[in-house]
Amino acid sequence: MPSTKRNKSETSESLAIKGLGVSDGFAIGPVYVLHADNFRIHERTLKSEDEIVQETSRFQQALDITREQLDQLIRDAKSKYGKEYSAILESHFLMLEDQEMIRGTLKNIKSVKMNAEAAFAAVMDKFKTGFLKSNNEYLRERANDLEDVKRRLLGNLLGQQRSFDIPEASVIVADTIKPSDIAGIDRNKILGFVSEAGSKLSHFSIVARSLNIPAIVGIANLTGIISKDDTLLLDGHTGELIINPDKKDIDRIKTKSRQIAKKETDLETVAKLPCVTNDGYEVALCANVELPEEVENALHLGAQGIGLYRTEYMLFSARELPDEETQYREYRRIAEKNHPHKITMRTFDVGGDKIPLEILTAKGYVHEDNPFLGWRAIRIALEYPDFFIPQIRAMLRLSSEFNVEIMIPMVINLSEMREAKRIIEQCKQELRRQDIPFNENIPVGMMIETPGAAILAQEFAAEVDFFSIGTNDLVQYTLAVDRGNPKVSGLYNCFHPAILRLIKQTIAAGHQRKIHVAMCGEMASNPYAAILLLGMGLHEFSVLPPVLTKIKKIIRSVSKTEAEAFASEILVMSDVAEIEKKVSLRTKAILG
């Protein structure tokens, strides 16, 4: 995390600092610092039954008040900021309803004889520690949501709710910005955000993007070096922050802003055009999503449907496995937003690194030193059908009204795919007996994300209706590189010749068996890979919503024949650096 040293008396000097841009845009204005809550929780032992009753009542009252506050915030957010922000606050409301949290707090009060604030803080800190230990970035970021809920309820217990009196439109700076902080600030007073902590996956970042507020995270000790008299200029595209910018800095950013605005206008025009090469070859362009709130934006940017719906997001804050009806309702929310387009629903792609252990311990889970090579995804589903069947039934029911595909992750053996298909057929038979409608011909496909699956693509193609290539794991497993390990992450490269040849082999197997071949991994979202993948014969790109228009522009700028010739050149090359140079030059000639 970048940091710098600066004497607060040096307020007239310009200083540039680099952070991580998480929401595009530019802002310049005075600084306003949101100071952290300074709750002091003093644990004390309850000495009488009357005290236990009193502390139980205090907790219940604080819980009720916090519910009322969040309910009002949710209503305000829906009317002022839209569904994406309100959905995040709704997830906070659900945390308040978590029965394990409530039972744990009451147990600490009644059995351990702790006062209410200490009892509640102990439970929330335990949950937070579990999230922070996860290898999954999304789960680690959810620890901030727990902290937000914890802070609000503790404030009600202690009678210390903070409010913000921002005198003028400002750049808001804090050590950590919580989603509920934003709800408490007049939107007209927010020019931009800078947070010392956070990532692209933090809910604060998601909210900033949904509200089109420029934001930067990852600048350590910023609140310690800025002064209340400073002016800040931030570039949410690059993560650049300038304290007290001079005229040259301001003019440079204004010029850059005009250039980006023109490019975005051009790309918005592209969003409305069909995804075809300039010689008329049609390519499917879909989006990767995990939240219903992401669908509308993806369709606006030109997505033709959802090529990867990560259903496992439902488990990230769950304490028990959602039942069939819960899953069906949630899937329906996203299918309705996506209708009439197709939605490819991946069954739970999870292991001990991704979901709370409470769900798995009952099924024999033990700690794994390397969960990426362990008990996960289809391996859990086949060993414990009660983990798999409710999800399959919910997906099948959804298919009676919507264009649904089922995709199985992490398959390495033909026997696994055949057993998954057998269970799907068993679910179909149950639904027929119950007179519950579903699509009898629902497509069932699999992810190709290991070298073993890619090598056996010819055999797998005879078993499924489609492939979707998951390059994230394919690269990691093929090259024996942990991309989360900074010592070797530089070796993680989707343009390695071995990766390209496995991809080509997979696509060729799909063509031979006449099945649809998609790619939903990060490589599909890489503009430099677009012409190459098109030339290899990829039928569908499923990408992150922000790059939809870029990928479409590239596809529309070349012919299928040109792309095939380019791919042929690349596939005989053996030097990664040379491959990267060639694809980079070819793409930059289109995007500028």
Just list the catalytic residues: 203, 520
Residue 74 is classified by DSSP as: H
Q: Which two tokens stand for residue 249?
A: 């800095």
User: How far is the C-alpha of 277 from the C-alpha of 550, rounded, in Å?
Assistant: 14
Alpha helices in 81-163 (DSSP H): 83-96, 99-110, 116-132, 137-158
How many alpha carbons lie under 13 Å from residue 475 in its C-beta half-sphere? Answer: 21
Distance CA 567, CA 550 (A): 19
- Any idea how long the chain is? 592
- Is the peptide bond prior to 546 cis by the omega test (within 30 degrees of 0)? no
385, HSE (Cβ side, Cα atoms, 13 Å)? 11
Residue type, 78: K
Tokens 């950013």 sit on residue: 253
Cα-Cα-Cα-Cα dihedral sign, residues 215, 219, 223, 228? negative
What whole-number distance in Å separates Cα of residue 183 and Cα of residue 71? Answer: 12
Q: Which two tokens stand for residue 221?
A: 């000790």
- 3-class state of residue 3 by DSSP: strand
Instruction: Estimate the crossing angle of helix 548-556 against helix 247-271, to 10 degrees.
Output: 70
The span from the CA of 102 to the CA of 190, in Å, is 35
Q: Contact at 8 Å (CB) between 9 and 20? A: no
Distances (CA, A) of 72 to 62, 66, 75, 183, 574: 15, 10, 5, 10, 60
Distance CA 21, CA 213 (A): 11
3-state secondary structure of 33: strand
Q: Are 153 and 41 in contact (CB under 8 A)?
A: no
Distance CA 470, CA 506 (A): 11
Q: Could you tell me which of 149, 180, 148 has the C-alpha nearest to residue 163?
A: 180
Phi first, then psi, for residue 525 (nearest 5°) are -90, -5
Phi, psi of 157 (to 5 degrees): -65, -40
> What DSSP designation does 185 have?
S
Residue type, 423: I
In terms of Cα–Cα distance, which of 407, 366, 359, 413 is closest to 387? 359
Residues 263, 277: contact at Cβ < 8 Å?
no
CA distances from 254 to 71, 231, 247, 407 (A): 40, 16, 11, 46
- As given in the structure block, the two tokens for residue 300 are 């606006």
Q: Is 16 helix (H, G, I), strand (E, B) or coil?
A: strand
